[in-house]
Amino acid sequence: IQVLGSAGHAAGLTLNTDDRLVYWCDARRNSIFSMDYDGMNLTLLQHAEGLSPYALAYHNGIIYWIDLAGDKGSIKSAPATPNATSSTLSSKLGDSLKDLTIISKLRPPFKTNPCAEGKHACAQLCLFDGSE
């Protein structure tokens, strides 16, 4: 979590529970990052001077984000690998976009969250990975 503490402006956070990865966008650094749940393997996925990522979501190996700078507000996507080529899915959406959510029938069923029940040993931020 110390890595996130040094972020310029962490404007979005999403999880890949299969690979136990955290993704976030940093609007001040014009970048999207990932790291393991334990804070290791910090990886820069996307960076560009014209990029202004705000919210992001992960689904089936793809990250999706709102870019408030280019195309007068757009939704973009790219494989969740370093320096992957991004695609603009929709543009000219304005600057009022604030969040992005993926809804899929493939999403696993919800489980009881031990973090919410106080049954965890997390010192800082408790992220439920879907296992018991």
Average pLDDT value for residue range 54-67: 92
Joined together, the tokens standing for residue 94 give 């304005």
Q: For the domain that residue 128 is a member of, what is the CATH number?
A: 2.120.10.30
Comparison of pLDDT for 132 and 92, the residue scoring more: 92
- Kind and range of the H or E element at 130? none
Count how many domains the chain has.
Answer: 1
Average pLDDT value for residue range 68-76: 82
Beta-sheet strand order (sheet of 21-26): 10-16, 21-26, 31-36, 43-47
Domain that holds residue 45: 1-132
Note the pLDDT of residue 1. 45
Which amino acid is located at 22 in the chain?
V
Note the pLDDT of residue 129. 64
78-122 residue pLDDT tens: 999 999 999 999 999 988 888 888 887 766 666 666 666 666 666
Distance CA 91, CA 129 (A): 33
